[in-house]
Structure 1
Amino acid sequence: MAPKVVRWGMMATGGIVQTFTKDLLVDPKTRGVEDVCHVVTAVASSSSKDSADRFVANFVEGKQGDTKCSAYASYKELVQDSNVDIIYVGTPHSHHYQNCRLALEHNKPILCEKALTVNAEQAKTLIDEARKRNLFFMEAVWTRYFPLSIEVRQAIQDGKIGEVIRVSADLSIGEIPEDKFDEGHRMVNLDLAGGVLLDLGIYALTWLFQTIYHTLPKEKRRAPTVLGTAMTSEPRTGADEATTILLNFPVSTPSGRSSTHGVASAALRAHFDFERDSDQATPAVRIFGDQGEIQVFGPIYRPSRYRITYRDKQKQTEDKTFEFPGGIHGMSWEGDEAARCWLVGKLESETMSWDESLVIMKTMDNVRKQGNLKYPDDIESTEYPIDLKKRDPSKHVQTENRD
């Protein structure tokens, strides 16, 4: 049976959209996928048609046979294109709410980059809108769909390390902000909801949630309590340049006989592992069970190695390394998932459900409240439409692409 073709529209032309597009257009058979394939039929830039034209020329033309791709100078034109099945929103998270509302109100399914929004109220409004319109809507947390992540979750559910007592996860990138980012850069600019929490910290939280919360049956999942937050402000802009979060998950995994502590951290100036490319590398995620430990080596947004050690020394340590087939960066798997869900009429992905996206956004709201971190009112608002053109997203350089 021939694979079903899904036609994508790209909202934005920055680094993350370029990477996603390149991954989608790699032959799915190279990663063992034969039921779906992807084409890009439209691209839109908010700044100029020239930008969209360049994107099409550089990343689409000649890579999908005879399928044509339209270039647009506005997102409104994109969402009105009848040749688009699903839209990938790759704008800064400060703009996700407005951009997703636009797509939903034109009855377009969406795969939206993380963080889904800047607060839980915005996320809930979008979810309610998608539900009302019977539209697929998913937060693009690509790491969850890696074969490595799936294996780690399965190992926990199988009880390989016993009851999970504590999980720690860190994504710190070792950059001096004054040297690396000007004050308008999205990593430090509050006008673009800048700072480490929504950009880096969400990956640390992803590992906590996918190994503690998500590994439980749905009926046993309980939102964590934010026991403490420590934040350091970037001296020029006030955005958080370092954030550490202590969570208590009231129901432990896999049996629910305890609670589980979670420690999530992210920082600009520190680094998760300066020896990451040597045999002295240390894990950036540690999942502590009462019978063993799972260690995941960073960077945690794109890990390729994990190790399981056991309390019982007669059990041999397991150490596994993964390749990225077909030369993909790793975003193809979330694209495959979104396509499959949309094709069969699902509104959400079980691996990144609406419930979990909302619980994580509520957790980050509580973290910001404890750290007294606020974004501009129009960025936090659920009013629609709001013209955010004064918030310049043109410096949208995605952290995942720094390697």
Structure 2
Amino acid sequence: MAPKTIRWGILGKWCCILMQTTGGIAITFTKDLLLDPATRGVHDIRHTVVAAASSSSASRAQAFLNEVKAPSTAKAYGSYASLVQDPDIDIVYIATPHSHHYQNAMLCLEAGKNVLCEKAFTVNAAQAKKLVQTAREKNLFLMEAVWTRYFPLSVHVREAITSGKLGHVVRVFADNSRAADPEKVWPDAKHRMVNPELAGGALLDLGIYSLTWVFQTLYTTQAPESRKPPKVVSSMVKYPPTGVDETTTILLTFPRDPEQGGDMHAVATTGMRTSSNTDGKGTSGPAIRIQGTKGEMQIWPPAFRPTRTRLILMDGTTEDKDWPQPGPGKGSGWFNGFGNIMNAEGEGHGMFWEADEAGRAIVEGRKEGKYESLDESVLIMEVMDEVRQQHGFRYPEKIETIERVDL
């Protein structure tokens, strides 16, 4: 049977090609998207790009299409409103700053388009709930692009938990931080990492990955009818020049029935000045530790794109596994990466896994992702809301609102 073709529209914010802003993730995603799916053993679907839009000009959208080597038939639009009216698009990938996700996703949904929206899903839970409500009312597919959940590595980790190999999981440590000197790296304070106008701060940008590991190991793995939201306590250090969070630590307690092992704890950490991957070579130890009554699973950094796991059981069993990302391989002359860091020749970045899931959902008629429900995306936003509320951390009203505004 011939593979089904999923036709994508790419909605991004590009100032120049290969810049280190949110436009960079659109380049990475789209280059992965256009790889031959057979290079990763996928034969039921394939992807193509039929259009891209920049908020500023069609010429920038065309430059993007040229950069990612999109088909020559792909159209370049100078406005998002034009993109969402294109009848040839099956689904729109949103790669703008998360300060803009709500407005951009609502534009797509109101135009009847399925949506894959970058993380963090929105700025707050109220926005996430409104998007979910709209998607369900219009019978559209909507998914938060938490790409890490769809890695074969992540599937392996969750199966180790649900199979009972670790016993009852009781505690998880998860960190995703970046060792930066924000005053020197972003001296004008306009970069999305530190700019409140772009919903900056460590929590929404980096901490979402720490929470992803906590939730996909302690929440997703529980039976839907029995799992409950966690209790949340947090600590935060703010970045003085702009007031966004620079270091945040969250302690979560997940209720669980005593016969299933009782309550579970998690510590999720994130920050701008330190990192669990200090040498960039993966020799700093695991960034995630999932601890159970029979042993633990360790995941090496970076938390967002791990490629190594270690299973250590109480009976002396140790299993190390490498999980390289597939692609066309050495000698292909093809490269992908993010920002100024390129992967090995012919190695994909790993964003195709979430695209495959979105594509299959559309073909099958499903309206949300298999490994993270929309309700769970909302719950994670509620946790981040609670953390911000505990520390009086709020963004400008035009960023927090659920009203339709121009940003």
TM-score, with length taken from structure 1: 0.92
Of residues 378, 381, 387, the one that matches 1:361 is: 381
**Deviations, residues 152-178 of structure 1 (Å, cap 9, x unaligned):** 000011111111111010011100100
Alignment of 1:268-283 (within 5 A): 268-277=272-281, 280-283=283-286
**Mapping of residues 340-355 of structure 1, within 5 Å:** 340-355=360-375
Alpha-carbon displacement from aligned partner over 1:45-67 (angstroms, at most 9, x marks no partner): 00221210101111134xx4xx6
Report the CA distance shift for 1:252/1:379 in structure 2 as closer, same or farther (over 3 A). farther
SS in 2 for 1:199: helix
* Superposition pairs of residues 61-140 of structure 1, within 5 angstroms: 61=70, 64=71, 68-140=73-145
Q: Does 1:39 align with 2:45?
A: no
For structure 1, which runs of at least 5 residues remain unmatched after alignment? 389-403
User: In structure 2, how many angstroms separate the alpha carbons of the residues matched to 1:359 and 1:174?
Assistant: 28
Alpha-carbon separation, structure 1, partners of 2:74 and 2:280: 40
- Identify the match of residue 197 of structure 1 among 192, 199, 203: 203
Encode CA deviations 1:71-127: one digit per residue, 9 max, x unaligned.
Answer: 001000000001111000111110011001100010000000011101111000000
Contact 1:252–1:260 (Cα < 8 Å) also in 2: no
| 3-state DSSP of counterpart to 1:262 | strand
Structure 1 contact 191–379 (Cα < 8 Å) conserved: yes
Q: Is residue 335 from structure 1 mapped to residue 355 from structure 2 by the alignment?
A: yes
Q: Is residue 175–residue 270 contact of structure 2 (8 Å, CA) maintained in 1?
A: yes
Q: How does 1:166-245 map to 2 (within 5 A)?
A: 166-181=171-186, 182-226=188-232, 228-245=233-250
CA RMSD of superposed structures (Å): 1.3
TM-score scaled by length of structure 2:
0.91
Does the residue aligned with 1:359 lie in a helix, a strand or coil? helix
Shift, 1:256, TM fit: 2.6
For the Cα contact (< 8 Å) 2:220–2:372, is it kept in 1?
no
Contact 1:242 1:268 in 2 (8 A): yes
1:308 aligns with 2:328: no
Q: How many residues align?
A: 378
Q: Distance in 1 between matches of 2:53 and 2:257?
A: 44
1:291 deviation in Å? Answer: 1.3
Q: Is the 8 A contact 1:10 1:42 kept in 2?
A: yes
Aligned-pair distance for 1:274? 2.0
SS in 1 for 2:380: helix
Equivalent-residue separation in structure 2 for 1:56 and 1:143 (angstroms):
25
- Per the TM alignment, residue 217 of structure 1 is displaced from its structure 2 partner at its CA by 1.2
For residue 152 of structure 1, give the secondary structure of its aligned residue in structure 2. Answer: helix
The answer to whether the Cα contact below 8 Å between 1:40 and 1:60 also exists between their aligned partners in 2 is no
Give the SS at the match of 2:176: strand
Aligned-pair distance for 1:377? 0.4
* Per-residue CA distance 1:349-394 (angstroms, 9 max, x = gap): 121111110110111110111121100001000001x011xxxxxx
Matches of 1:82 and 1:223 in 2, distance apart? Answer: 40
Q: Using the alignment, how far apart are the partners of 2:210 and 2:67 within structure 1?
A: 33
**1:196-217 CA distances to partner (integer Å, 9 max, x unpaired)?**
0000000000000000000111
- SS in structure 1 at match of 2:260: coil
Q: Is this contact kept in 1: 2:276–2:284, CA < 8 A?
A: no
Quote the residue 1:323 is aligned against. 324
Contact 1:276/1:282 (<8 A) preserved: no
- Aligned pairs for 1:20-31 within 5 A: 20-31=29-40
Moved over 4 A (4+): none
